[in-house]
């Protein structure tokens, strides 16, 4: 008999192999996602090394493009992990181009960090 019991797989941000942005019920959103006026909520689901998928507290970016050509990635949701985010659409709000969730805080060369992105379509609002 084995003296060391099998420990369950630890689920940490470093054990995430895939992220996906989903609607609150877990459904896959259309891509690009057609935003409706009002609140548009999203969640992030992580698939771990052991194949389990569950809700995940991700870093979220929603870039705002400045007139001078710069990009502000953190101005919408800040640099804190969140399980879900809401994009609010109205005539007075900024127009966001993309939403992304990240397993680890993104850096300039973030190709190896699990993430998912979703672009937006405003045709229902215009």
Tell me the C-alpha distance between 22 and 47, whole Å.
13
**Domain residues for 78?**
13-105
Give the Cα separation of 99 and 21 in Å (integer): 9
How much of the chain, in percent, has pLDDT values that exceed 90?
A: 60
Task: Output the pLDDT for position 1.
Answer: 47
pTM score, whole prediction = 0.86
The reply to whether omega before 32 is within 30° of 0 (cis) is yes
Number of domains in the chain: 1
Instruction: Work out the pLDDT band at 19, boundaries 50, 70, 90.
Output: very high
Indicate whether 6 belongs to any domain: no
* Residue 66 belongs to some domain of the structure: yes
- Mean pLDDT for all residues in the chain: 88
Asked if residue 62 belongs to a domain, the reply is: yes
Run of H or E residues at 115: strand 115-121
Contacts of 94 (CB under 8 A, 6+ apart): 64, 76
């Amino acid at each position: 008999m084995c003296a060391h019991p099998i420990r369950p797989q630890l689920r940490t941000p470093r054990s995430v192999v895939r992220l996906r942005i989903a609607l609150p019920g877990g459904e896959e959103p259309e891509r690009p996602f057609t935003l409706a006026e009002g609140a548009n909520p999203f969640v992030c689901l992580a698939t771990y090394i052991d194949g389990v998928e569950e809700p995940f507290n991700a870093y979220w970016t929603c870039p705002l493009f400045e007139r001078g050509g710069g990009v502000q990635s953190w101005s919408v949701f800040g640099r804190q992990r969140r399980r879900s985010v809401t994009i609010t659409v109205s005539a007075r709000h900024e127009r966001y181009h993309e939403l992304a969730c990240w397993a680890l805080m993104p850096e300039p060369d973030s190709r190896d960090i699990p993430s998912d992105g979703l672009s937006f379509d405003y045709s229902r609002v215009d």
